[in-house]
Amino acid sequence: MSKLSEIKASFKELELLGLPISSEQRQHLVEAENEFVEEEVIPHIKELLNNILADIDIKVRIAIEYDGSDDDNLKVYLQEEESPKHSKTIVPRKKHETRQVEGKKLYLRLTYPDGHQETGRGVDILKQIVNGVGPKKIHDLGLQTRGILLVEDRYVDGVAHYQRPIDDGYYLMVNSNNQQKKERDRRNQ
């Protein structure tokens, strides 16, 4: 049994017993997942791609995104070289129309029960909702993303660069795509 499997099994046991899972334990899960990706997933992908790409004579950049969600969680697309201005252009493929293309920005629209609407970047809308509900309430709900709480009362080692300060001294984890933010917004209303 791998370290990752052991941690996940331990989490299931704690949940069955109704015991809380600490931020440190969640951080260990994130580290184990990162280790698994680096040591198991990437070498396997490289091995498979070496065989598949053997007939291609040009330099090609292929991006792979996996967000861990249940819906359309794997995206593979061709990525063009960066231009001299260091801006990325992503070539959409199949179901990837939501990918950001140079010059096009993606926004979320939030509709409140009273009909009032707010539109903005996903992270800004998520901050607005969390601050509106109250960071402490969201923190106490135990909502998780990337193995840590969506709203933490401190920076978490290893993912602190994805946390943004919000009201009342809390920190919001913003490392998720717009679809994940929409789902959290829908659940929090």
Considering 46, 78, 98, which residue would you say is the last residue of a domain?
Answer: 98
One domain, residues 42 and 69: no
State the residue range of the domain holding 171: 108-188
Tokens of 174: 């913003």
The answer to whether residue 85 is domain-embedded is yes
| Domain match, 79 and 27 both | no
The pLDDT value recorded for residue 20 is: 84
pLDDT in tens, 119-138: 888 888 888 889 989 999 99
Look at the chain and report how many structural domains it folds into: 3
- The SS3 call for residue 51 is helix
Residue 132 lies in a domain: yes
In terms of domains, do 162 and 142 share one? Answer: yes
- Regarding whether 90 and 155 lie in a shared domain, the answer is no
Residue 184 and residue 139 in one domain: yes
Same domain flag for 179 and 118 = yes
Reference 150, options 122, 141, 100, 78; nearest CA is 141
Q: Are residues 29 and 64 in the same domain?
A: no
How does the average pLDDT of the chain come out, rounded?
Answer: 76
Q: Is 103 part of a structural domain of the chain?
A: no
Q: Give me 58's structure tokens.
A: 């040009």
Domain-located, residue 168: yes
| Rounded distance between C-alpha atoms, residue 110 and residue 107, angstroms | 10
Residues 87 and 129 in one domain: no
CB 23 within 8 A of CB 149: yes
Structure confidence by residue, pLDDT tens digits, 49-103? 888 888 887 777 888 877 766 566 778 877 765 544 444 444 443 333 444 444 5
